[in-house]
Structure 1
Amino acid sequence: MTRRAWDNILRFRRSEEGSLVVEFVILFPLYLAFILCAVEYALVTVKQSMLERSVDLVVRDIRLGTGSGPTHDQIKEAICEQTLVIDDCSNNLQLEMIRQSAFTGVTLPAEPDCTDRSEEAKPVREFTNGPPNELMILRACAIVDPVFPTSSMGRALANDDGLIALSATTAFVQEP
Structure 2
Amino acid sequence: MILSSAKRLFRRFRGDTKATVTVEFAILMPLFFMLLTSTVELGMVVLRQSQLERALDIAVRNIRLTTGSAPQHDVVRDQICDLSGFIDNCSTSLRLEMVQLDPFAWVDVNEQVDCISKPEEVLPVRGFSNTGRSNDLMLIRACMRFKPLFSGWGFGESLSTADPEGLVSLVAVSAFVQEPK
TM-score (norm 2): 0.87
Corresponding letter in the other structure for 2:117? D
Per-residue CA deviations over 1:62-89 (Å, capped at 9, x if unaligned) read 1111222211111111101101011111
1:149 to 148, 151, 174: 151
Offset, 1:120: 2.6
Counterpart in the other structure of 2:141: 139
> Which range moved further: 105-114 or 25-34?
105-114
Give the secondary structure class of the aligned counterpart of 1:28: helix
RMSD: 1.9
TM-score (norm 1): 0.90
1:165 to 143, 146, 169: 169
Percent identity for Structure 1 against Structure 2 = 42
Counterpart in the other structure of 1:34: 35
Corresponding letter in the other structure for 2:158? A
Indicate how the Cα distance of structure 1 residues 106 and 26 shifts in structure 2: closer, same or farther if over 3 A, else same.
farther
Offset, 1:7: 8.1
The answer for unaligned runs of 5 or more in structure 2 is none
How many residues matched?
A: 172
The answer for unaligned runs of 5 or more in structure 1 is none
Counterpart in the other structure of 2:79: 78
Offset, 1:12: 4.7
Give the secondary structure class of the aligned counterpart of 1:98: strand
The structure 1 segments of at least 4 consecutive aligned residues displaced by more than 3 Å after TM superposition are: 5-13
Per-residue CA deviations over 1:48-106 (Å, capped at 9, x if unaligned) read 11001100010011111122221111111110110101111111111000000112346
